[in-house]
Amino acid sequence: MQPTDVHLDDAQLSIEQVVAVARHGAAVSFSAAYEARVEAAAALVTKFVADRRVVYGVTTGFGDNYTETISPEDTRRLQENIIVSHAVSVGAPIPDEQVRAILVTMLGHLGRGYSGTRLQTLELVRELLNRGVTPVVPGSGSLGYLALEAHIALVLIGRGRARVAGVVLPGADALHAAGLSPIRLEAKEGLTLLNGIMSVTGIAALAVHDATSALRHADVIGALSFEALRGTTRALDPRLHALRRAPEQQRSASTIARLLDGSALAERHRDHRVQDPYLIRAMPQLHGSVARAFGDAATIVDEALGSLGDNPVLFGDGSGDGDAVMGGNFDATSIGLAMDSLKAAAAVLAHHSERRVDRMVNSTVSELPPFLATTPGLDNGLMIPQYTAAALVMEIRGEACPATIDSIPTSAGQEDPISNAYLATQQATRTVERLRYVLAIELLTAAQATDLLDSIDASSPALAAVRTRVRRDVPFAEHDRAFGEDIETLYTLVCSDELLEITGTPTIGAP
């Protein structure tokens, strides 16, 4: 197996594995133990149907129809009905990487052997990933599960639509193009494929990964701004940070100090002020607080990846029999709250980044030319990129209200409350994207500012390497140009690991 492949066995999925499959096309395989667990649980469902036991979603209807009994002859039709009737999300499709994140999370959850989905079904889900068949999933109108998964499940039964090699085809044609065939769902499989926390967990894994990456970039970019604004490194004294029981703050202070090590510019201005403005002086405290919130969100998502959110849950007794327990593991409130917290923390980080941009372009406090222009007045310099950063921060604030505080009852009152975690997760995704744009604008601004100071003193080796990398694609602004193109270029850079690697800052997944 290649190092990037994901082998599902007794260990739970990790956030990094979800990213590897969803974004980088890592192949998925099953262990023998995985397959045995799946087949044992599927055998339990077969027994329950034969025994005509009352099991929600197996021999009963769904939601408020749980009082209606389903005959063994209708169990297949029941599973198809739940798929087609629940495929009702609308609007523009969610990104392919989010669909793939849901698919691999589905394999992680259902492969634990407590759901009753057949191995044949999970093998088809796996092959959608491995052969590049991506269901088209409308992104609006889902409460957090059911609708998104239903559009995915449609493709498994040869309906719906899917993208193959960039072309959208009817579900059956997409399967055929990849050498696959539709399946006929058996008892409980339709419910199992739709139920639980699979969609919000998969999408949240991507959001947490990207937020953590953005934060590590914020330390690097913030250090460049620290140098440009001639901050005093006395505020990075490790003795100071040791007195705050906040390991994330200590790591941020250590990282920023390391990045500034060897900076003649920072050394010259070590005593430039008695103390710097809050944005510069308290950067480790600010970044450390955000790191704690992001870390807590990552812990919750990691726990969710190793969980089972199905209902009912099947427990074998070792003799070929067992029971089904109806409960509420499908609730996604914990993930919704984690994503709401992540949104708030990202809003704080974006605000601080934008404020540093403002200080660098504001000549009344920067001690630099107005808007960092070489010919102020004739050239606007970086005046308007700061406007963009301000607008992005306001957009972030617009979605920062917790989604999990809202709920509307559904299914004739049978399902109340609703976690609203899907909305929180998609808002978190959009928030992190905007945060990265704000950081790209700060990087553009800090590089221009330090270039203007370069004739006085040199940057540290690490930050000089950052500027060199920036200047490879974005030249110093001698005069006005289309800075929007520069922002897009640096956004792409912030989304990669390059700046982390060239400065020796750990990438995501590293210690």
| Given the residues 281, 355, 359, 434, the one annotated as active site | 281
CA gap 91, 230 in Å, rounded:
49
467 is catalytic: no
CA gap 25, 14 in Å, rounded:
15
Contact 464, 375 (CB under 8 A): no
- Cα dihedral 93→98→101→105 (10° resolution): -60
CA gap 146, 309 in Å, rounded:
12
Q: What are phi and psi of 458, to 5 degrees?
A: -90, 155
CA gap 214, 171 in Å, rounded:
37
CA gap 372, 374 in Å, rounded:
7
Tokens of 360: 């660098």
Q: What DSSP character marks residue 51?
A: H
| Given the residues 30, 48, 330, 422, the one annotated as active site | 330
430 is catalytic: no
330 is catalytic: yes
Q: What are phi and psi of 69, to 5 degrees?
A: -90, 140
CA gap 425, 199 in Å, rounded:
10
| Given the residues 415, 433, 476, 498, the one annotated as active site | 415
- Asked if omega into 402 is within 30° of 0 (cis), the reply is no
In angstroms, how far is CA 3 from the centroid of its own chain?
Answer: 22
| Given the residues 30, 37, 161, 195, the one annotated as active site | 195
CA gap 335, 207 in Å, rounded:
12
> Beta-strand (E) ranges in 110-208?
133-135, 138-140, 161-164, 167-170
CA gap 97, 153 in Å, rounded:
17
415 is catalytic: yes
CA gap 276, 460 in Å, rounded:
20
**Contacts of 310 by beta carbon, 8 Å cutoff, 6+ apart:** 109, 110, 114, 115, 192, 195, 196, 329, 330
| Given the residues 35, 56, 123, 176, the one annotated as active site | 56
In sign, the C-alpha dihedral spanning 478, 433, 27, 508 is positive
230 is catalytic: no
Neighbours of 212 (CB within 10 A): 21
| Given the residues 48, 62, 86, 434, the one annotated as active site | 86
Strand partners, 415: 410
What is the set of active-site residues? 56, 86, 195, 278, 281, 330, 415
